[in-house]
Amino acid sequence: VPEPRQCGRSCPCPGLRAGLPVLRWLPRYSLAWLQLDLIAGLTVGLTVVPQALAYAEVAGLPLQYGLYSSFMGCFVYCFLGTAKDVTLGPTAIMSLLVSSYAFHEPVYAILLAFLSGCIQLAMGLLHLGFLLDFISCPVIKGFTSAASITISFNQIKNILGLQGIPRQFFLQVYETLRRIGETRAGDAVLGLACLAALAGLQAMKSRLPRAAPVEPLAARVSYLIVWTTATARNAVVVLFAGLVAYSFQVMGSQPLTLTGSIPQGLPAFRLPCFSMATPNGTIPFRSMVEDMGVGLAVVPLMGLLETVAIAKAFASQNDYRIDPNQELLAMGFANILGSFVSSYPITGSFGRTAVNAQSGVCTPAGGLVTGTLVLLSLAYLTSLFYYIPKAALAAVIISAVVPMFDAGIFRTLWRVKRLDLVPLCVTFLLCFWEVQYGIVAGVLVSGIFLLYSIARPPIKVSEGDVLLVQPGSSLHFPAIECLRDAVCSRILAASPPHSIILDCRHISSIDYTAVVGLAELLQELRKQGLSLAFCSLQDPVLQVLLSADLEGFQHFPSWEEAERCGGAEPGGGWSAPFTSTSESSLLPT
């Protein structure tokens, strides 16, 4: 996507261009771009339709809701997104989260999309994207790896043709193994065949050499046919399975479990419901929000994290820049407007984004083609979806989520930093119990490690004529006691006791509680006849300490100068050019 400076003369209003990224590339749009965007949009559309039906099954919703969730994000992102490759829609991870927090109720799922969009929009307006940085890589890897296993096993029942299997993971495993003798042969054979076909087409695509322009026309056409078939493998396999099921139906014998009827037509454009009628009465909005609980934090944050991570990865790969804050706004608007057409929460899809990029997409306009194809499917093709076997959709899901399991991350962390295995394993194991417990516990464990590193920074102490103390990071209130203990313990061990130089070159910020702690340390050392000098202070830290008006505060440009000016005898002071000797206003007299 062209940068703003490249099309500034075509769009003279920088504020409008910043708020509507479409204006950065639309004035330069060309027929060559249109051709490539059409190809990419159609290719992604052939991928998203079968995936949408399959992901609705993961979310525990009627299959049409997968399609309802697949077009609005494409349209919104075309105008508000900053990454040319990203495509929004239902994903395996988001569908799993929706299954946990929407209780298989479409009304809950749609309201969750609306509220998640509001939260994402507010985060974008308030520039709160930095909150995503608190979800560490081990937590994400633990969650996605566990999700890969739980989603895959959740589809085993459809591969085997089993009915009435519970959704809780451990009960699923028990019931599936207990009832494996009830396997329907037709579903099992078709499901395994679809898995083999999908794996074979994926392997074919990864090993397919690109046809050079100088090669004969027949070779280039053959390459295009094979590449298109492998790229649209989900649609090809589902179409083939549907034809098999239809053939059995015509012959009057149906050994396969079919998807069944899907309502035809486009969803109504209306506000999401803020209450839900049940046989036992009406569930009010407040109760619905309470039922969703922590999902109102987990769903929008994970959605943003997935989208921004994908956008950054493909922006780096294809050499363009994105605006992370604008991505938050795009996600927020996509989910809010999506809820008006019965969408459940959506996010960026890594698999479809990769297809988009490999298809040569030039601008986000490719999403318009994808969204239009989904709308046409809803309007005219839903009657054909009746014949899609559930085993084929299960194979599509399994082939999509198996690559998310990252076995290598366990070996990598064991080699690089074993402590990071703790949040990884906590998240991974608890996600088998409940997704929300795994994510929350992993974030808490990572947060505890982060707080511990702040409270116990590395402190280097070097002894010579004076004691040189060098904290390894910024000094905030949890760390001040650690610093005081390090100084006091070394002073007591020294004979005779030394004066101290505090090297502050690594301290970029300091808070009031830390200043109070330093004032107490100065007072304590003074009672023992010792001096404390500061050196290599950065300007923001120096201004804070000068404003505090510490009694006996002395500072030097470098520790060498501080050491030269220090007294040779224990308890000797400094002849310092920078001193403050007024009574401290921070301590009681």
Which residues sit opposite 217 in a β-bridge?
Answer: none
Half-sphere exposure of 153 (CA within 13 A, CB side): 21
At residue 466, the pLDDT reads 79
588 vs 585: CA distance, rounded Å:
8
Position 8, amino acid: G
* 476 within 8 A of 180, measured Cβ to Cβ: no
Task: Name the DSSP letter for residue 472.
Answer: S
Alpha helices in 417-511 (DSSP H): 421-430, 435-455, 480-493
Which residues sit opposite 534 in a β-bridge?
Answer: 502, 555
Which residues fall within 8 angstroms of residue 575, CB to CB, at 6 or more apart? 565
Quick check: pTM over 0.85?
Answer: no
171 vs 303: CA distance, rounded Å:
28
Say if strands 276-278 and 281-283 run parallel, antiparallel, or are unpaired: antiparallel
At residue 494, the pLDDT reads 66
Position 276, amino acid: M
Q: Distances from the Cα of 456 to the Cαs of 143, 203, 257, 470, 490, in angstroms?
A: 29, 49, 59, 13, 17
Q: Which domains does the chain have, with CATH numbers?
A: 4-403 (no CATH), 406-454 (no CATH), 457-580 (3.30.750.24)
Say if strands 500-503 and 532-535 run parallel, antiparallel, or are unpaired: parallel
Position 439, amino acid: I
Which residues of the chain have a pLDDT value below 70?
1-18, 211-214, 464-465, 492, 494-498, 566-589
Alpha helices in 185-279 (DSSP H): 185-207, 217-231, 233-250
Task: Name the DSSP letter for residue 60.
Answer: T
441 vs 142: CA distance, rounded Å:
11
Which residues fall within 8 angstroms of residue 42, CB to CB, at 6 or more apart? 369, 370, 373
* 77 within 8 A of 310, measured Cβ to Cβ: no
| 580 φ, ψ (degrees, to nearest 5) | -135, 120
Please give the structure tokens belonging to residue 116.
């998640």
Please give the structure tokens belonging to residue 102.
């929407």
* 72 within 8 A of 272, measured Cβ to Cβ: no
Given strand 579-580, what is the order of strands in its sheet?
A: 459-463, 467-471, 500-503, 532-535, 553-556, 579-580
At residue 6, the pLDDT reads 39
| 119 φ, ψ (degrees, to nearest 5) | -65, -45
Task: Please list, residue by residue across 199-212, b when 16 or more beta carbons sit within 10 angstroms of its beta carbon and e when fewer do.
Answer: eebeeeeeeeeebe
Q: How does pLDDT run across 381-395, given as a tens digit for each residue?
A: 999 899 999 999 999
Dihedral angle computed from the Cα positions of residues 48, 49, 53 and 55, in that order, rounded to the nearest 10 degrees: 0
Taken in order 351, 356, 358, 364, the sign of the CA dihedral is negative
At residue 378, the pLDDT reads 95
Degrees, nearest 5: CA angle 494-500-506: 125
Residue 221, helix vs strand vs coil: helix
Q: How many CB atoms lie within 10 A of CB 459?
A: 17
Which residues fall within 8 angstroms of residue 132, CB to CB, at 6 or more apart? 301, 304, 305, 308
